[in-house]
Each structure stands twice: as C-alpha cells, then as structure tokens.
Structure 1
C-alpha cells in the first residue's frame, strides 16, 4: 500500500515483488483495496492508489491539523530547531506536507504566529500592547486598541484582554489584529482582569453566582438527564434528597429548571436566586 502511495509509477510485476506474492494474488489484493474504499487507478501498465480515495480522506480529516494548529506547531518547532534535531525534522515535515514556503495562505499563518508570539511575550512580561489595525466585527471599523492581554482562549485563536480606553475586559480575535506592538509599560489594571466563565447552562460572562438547591429524586434524575455536566455538582443528602451546588453566570437557566419542577425543589441559596424566581412567578401570574 505504501509503495502504491509513494507518488511513483509501479508495474504489476514490481508491486507483486514488493508484496512477495504472484501477479494473480496481487490482483486479488487490489480488488480487496477497492472494497476497503481505496481508489486503485490503472494507467497503462502502471498502478497506484489515488490519494483522494474516500478511505484516505476520512483518515486525513481525523489526523490533519487545522491552520491555526499548523501555525502553532511550526512556530514551536522553529524556536527549537536550532537546539533539537527532532524539532528540525518535524519542522521540515510540516513545511513539506503543508507547503508552508509556497502557499499564499501560509504567509497569513506566519503573520498570525508572529502576533501570538508577541502576545505571549507581553503576558510573560505583564506588558501593555497596542493591537494595531484591529478589525472589529461589531462596529465594522478598523482601529488601534490599547490593552493588557492576560489570557489565550481556544487554540490560541482569541486573546482575553483589559481595554484601557473602555475600562472593560474584552475578547479579541487574533486573526483580526493587524500587528501586535508590545509597549514598555506595565499592567496597572491587574485587579480588573476577569476571565470569561461558562456555566453548565452554557451561559458565558464574568459574573459568578453561587447557588444551592435541595432536589427530590425526580428533580435529581431530570437534572442529570437534561444537564449531564451537573453530575459533579450533586451530592446525596439522604435516601430521598440530593443537594445541588454550582457556580452560574446568571439565574436564567436554573430558574427555568426550578419553575418546571416547583414542588420538587427547595432553594437553599442564594438570596438573589430567591428574588429572581419570585419575580418570575409574579410575571407569570399576570397571564
């Protein structure tokens, strides 16, 4: 199989020799390959496997790196290449397989890598940066942003930073940054840095609210069925009750669950949740 994928032309005799079998058995193997999803091509007296075969495409989609992953790995290997032979080998393989030196898209990837490296340096040194020519999808404008970057998100596709002008924590797409300029000025808003927290209901925000409920067996079972991520937040109180304790971004998701099983749940905390549920009940009583 590897011989048929090496990019060279091979006759049936050569393939039979590589396999250590007869030409008759080779044809049986080729039929077997076709049945497995390989596209076996005959070109005059030569045979090869089309690299676009369905089976190979499925394998490639499972193991092939995304563009941002290639950027990250290539940048990492480039840093280590001078001192590590294995890093040099991996770097060359990435360049050959992804055609890094020739693809126009790879220039953008190297630009992305430079921005990530500058942000990493700024975070390590706790420095302010200017995001030059940042293209905002919300305001549909291009402008410079002066920020204190403190956290990467995703596969280093986003950066969480405190914007000095707006005095707000924001998430910036690194691909939308023209250039990262590290400024010789230290962070002076560290106490205002806030990460984005995502709760079990998939709400995201900076605020974190602690809630506590007593659930009946029915409420406990429905909680696990509807929200499997709640399992670590549940502890048995007795044979008929469970305690649910969690940190949430808001009361929207949990109040919906409570109101749907009102007779099966007791709110133990916090007071904000009690007030929120009371308001919802008052709103419903108007209909």
Structure 2
C-alpha cells in the first residue's frame, strides 16, 4: 500500500521527467490537462536548469525566474529584450505561458500588442517578476513551434525532404538543434536525410542557398516550386548571382526530381 506524502515534496528525477514528457508529447491530442501536466513536469524537475542550451548561470537564472512566474501566474518584464525583427532593445511586459521543448524560447502574451509571441531566452537581459497576477489568461495561446522556431501562425506548412552531407548536417544541427530527431543517417552512404514539416520555408531556403554544394533538395513538390519562385524573384535583378545559382540542377538549386 502506498502511503500518502506531501505533494509539495515530490520532485521528478531527470530520467522520470524526460520519460513522462516524451509520453505526453507523443500524444496527438490537445487538452488543457495535457498542458498542465507538462508544466508541472517542467516545474517539478531539474530539466529547467539542465537544458542543453543553458550554458551559464545567467541563462539558468532567467529560466528559473520565468518558471516561478509561470507557476504563480504572475506578469513579468523582460528587461532589455533584443528583438531581431525590429532591431530594437526594449523592456517587454508579458504574461509568461510556457517554454519550448528545449528551453530556447518563451511563449508569452505581450500586453502592449495583445499578441502571443515567442521570445528567445538568450536575448533576454534580465527578468523582473511583478506581484501583479495574470489579467489576460483567456487570451493565452500556446502554439507548437516547428524545428526552425516558427509557429503555425506563420503561414501554410511545407513538407521538406533534404539530403545533407556531414558538413551541412553539422552546421544545421548547431544552428537549429531541434532538427536532430528528424535527421536519419542514410545506409551505405556518408549522407544524412532531413524529413519534416515546417511552418515557414524561409529559414530552410536560406540554409539551402548558403550551402549549395552540400545539400540536395528531394522534396516536396510544393517546397521545390516555392524555392524556384523565391530564387527567380530574389535574383531577377542580379544576373551574376542568378547565373551562379542557376548552374545547380534544381532549375535553380540542386533539386533532384
């Protein structure tokens, strides 16, 4: 018979928390109960502090402070947040919702814009946890990001199938570590194969065009067409670059039909 224990003293080991997390994430169903369980796993284990990208105590403190705010339903100010989109450094008043699976980003409701956004953890200088509780919880929306960090609100999804040599694989893995589960080593070759669905094709296109000699786009048809149109439009006023790119057999990148 299992004796009763104080649930405040229950903590998961990393192995227990990781197993529970994977079981929940593998479930295709969406529910508030599932989200609540995931949140408790994150907050009741050491996973928060030991995320692979938390390379220093400063980032660890930011994640710890945000986790505390989430557990207490409190608003926070992301101090001196560096925005890559607007090229600005500003304080952002938000209601933190949850982290992405690998703790690279925070999903939060930004009060000024009235939008749910993702904030890169490494671009947060500091966190000020306020005593003010959530005011807009009914507007919170947690979208699942793709491996390149884009949510389903970023447009129509594309299925991509790309062959990579070792150099391309290592570069892509370093820049986008979340792609790792979607990459398989090809049998009897030194190449790798990346197959997954993305919410925005632009980071993939940027990667392909930067490593034309190291990648081969195998699919999908929709992604190939988008890529061809993108290159044609981008290079139409730059003939030298266009001729360089066009030499690759994809009708403009090394795409194999």
> TM-score interval w.r.t. the shorter chain?
0.3 to 0.5
**Normalising to structure 2: TM-score of the pair?**
0.42
Higher-helix-fraction structure = 1
- For the pair shown, the structure with the greater C-alpha radius of gyration is 1
**Normalising to structure 1: TM-score of the pair?**
0.39
